[in-house]
Every structure is written in structure tokens, then in C-alpha cells.
Structure 1
């Protein structure tokens, strides 16, 4: 089940409001700083050109950071702090899924918390995540190279040996959990892109 259009629009609206709020706070701080420097009787005359240059650089930096969000404010992308997630609408193998994510400037989802696990299970049924032991059997690593520390394996998993090297999120036995599966299975996937301000 994917998030509906109103949920995506609400998330986008919140992101725009927060961004606009940050821009307003920055402008207010700049105005206060400028007024204090102008009306301070004990301070020497400030270097207005330096102040203006500094404010201009801060504004341009903020614009660059906000523009990083632009490509992720497209259909199919969902924001859940601190990342954007692309929810696939078709089914492919684990490697094809990862290739698609990389082409989008992201990678398969790395689940770092219980909250992110709960977010991911709301998205679809069977879904590829960015975890594999394809490099060394039994040594599970995320797509960014970090070792697995927190997991949500189903009971008895992982159990597939050399044939099952990719991890899917699935619903089984009345709960969502992880299963090691064959990487050539065709299922949905979730891409993740962390965008820091």
C-alpha cells in the first residue's frame, strides 16, 4: 500500500512551510544584527560591505541547500525525517532495484531505527532493502558498507545460505520482518536519500 496523494501533498506542504520558516528566521536574525550594529553607541562603525557580503553568502548557501530538495519533491518520493524515500511501482531483482536507486541519486533503504522500520512496513508488501551478504556469506552489510547492528529478522532467519543473499521486508506470521531471499526475485523496493540541511 503506497501513501496517498493527500499524504504526499501534506508532507510537501510541511517541508515548504519549514523551509520558508527557516528563511524568515535567517532574515530576522540578519535584520536584528544589522540594527544592533547601526545603533550601538559604543561600537565603532561596522564594515557594511562585509556584512552585506556575509548575508548574501548565507542566503546563497541556504538557496543551494533548499534546491537539494527539489529533485525529491517529485511524484513517487516521500519525506520521513531525515530522508527522502522513493517507493517503486514495479517489481525487479535486488540489483536492478539498487541500480534504479543509484540512478536517482539514492540507494536502497538502510533501516537504522524502529521508527524507520515502521515507516517502511507502511509502504508495500514484499520490498527489497539495502542489506546483503553477497560479498561474504553470513556477514550482512548495508549498501553503504556498514555492518548490520540492529535487525528485524523473522524467527529462523536468515536461513538461506549461499542462495539467499539479499534481504526483503515481508509480512508473515501476522508481522512484518526481514527474510533473506534470492536476489533474482522480482519484488518492490524502496530507495533512500538522506538530505542534510
Structure 2
């Protein structure tokens, strides 16, 4: 994968659209190694900023069902990096939708603390194409 670190902030939907326009997705840290690599890049790229970068994981379609930006579900028993107490469960009558971001502290765990309409930095991932 190749990763592009955005230098602007967008809502989850706009960030997702921006990544798709380049042929990719929002970054999907589906394993520890990918997560650790991306967190290191975030820390190196934004050393003096306290940012919450979006990741390609949302419960927008159905509350409690987390889905990656490529359409695959975050299944029970799969590796995840949720901060303790997350993901949270909303009131069933809430109209707020939730999207995941990295919590910018020493651990960079995932949180779903913000509505998808907040504007944050984001990371796109695109499959690397080998030259012929």
C-alpha cells in the first residue's frame, strides 16, 4: 500500500470522497503492523500538532456494526485497537453517526468520540502498482 497524509481537514464523508477520487480508501489499519506504521508516520509528520486523524472505520450504516471503508466488517475476535471503553453505544434514538479516529496521545488508540461531521486530518491508502 501507498499512503497519502492529507494536509487539510475534512469531514469523514469528504475525506472518504477525496481518497476515492485518487483511487483509494481511507487508511484501514486492520493489523498491528499497519497501525504501528501509520501511527509512527502521524507522529513524524505532525510532531507539534494534537490531531485526530480519521481512519476508514465507521458505524454509519447500522449502530454497533463497524465497517471498514472497503466494505468489510470489523468482526468479533479480529484485531482492533479500541481505547478502553470504546466503541461506545449511542442512545438508540440518537441521530448522530459515528466514525473512528486515532486518539492523539501516547497510545494512539481508536476512538469514536466524534460525529462524522467534524473536520479532521485523514490518511488515504492506495494499492501500490508495480511497474511492468
Question: TM-score per shorter chain, which class?
Answer: 0.7 to 0.9
- Are 2:49 and 1:123 aligned? no
Deviation readout 1:147-179 (Å, 9 max, x if unpaired)? 11321000101115252410001224x311001
- Are 2:120 and 1:187 aligned? yes
Secondary structure of the structure 2 residue equivalent to 1:176: coil
Structure 1: any 5+ residue segments left out of the alignment?
Answer: 1-82
Deviation readout 1:70-118 (Å, 9 max, x if unpaired)? xxxxxxxxxxxxx001100011100000010011111101112111111
d(CA) in 2 for partners of 1:122 and 1:182? 25
For these two proteins, the number of residue pairs brought into alignment is 114
- Considering only aligned residues, what root-mean-square deviation do their CA atoms show, in Å? 1.5
- Are 2:71 and 1:138 aligned? no
The 5 Å alignment of 1:171-182 reads 171-172=104-105, 174-180=106-112, 181-182=114-115
Structure 2: any 5+ residue segments left out of the alignment?
Answer: 43-50
- Are 2:100 and 1:167 aligned? yes
- Are 2:12 and 1:94 aligned? yes
Does structure 1 conserve the Cα–Cα contact (< 8 Å) formed by 2:15 and 2:26?
A: yes
Residue 128 of structure 1: CA displacement?
A: 0.4
Q: TM-score under structure 2 normalisation?
A: 0.79
Secondary structure of the structure 2 residue equivalent to 1:188: coil
Larger radius of gyration: 1
Secondary structure of the structure 1 residue equivalent to 2:41: coil
Q: Which residue of 2 aligns with 1:147?
A: 73
Higher relative contact order (CA 8 A, sep 6+): 2
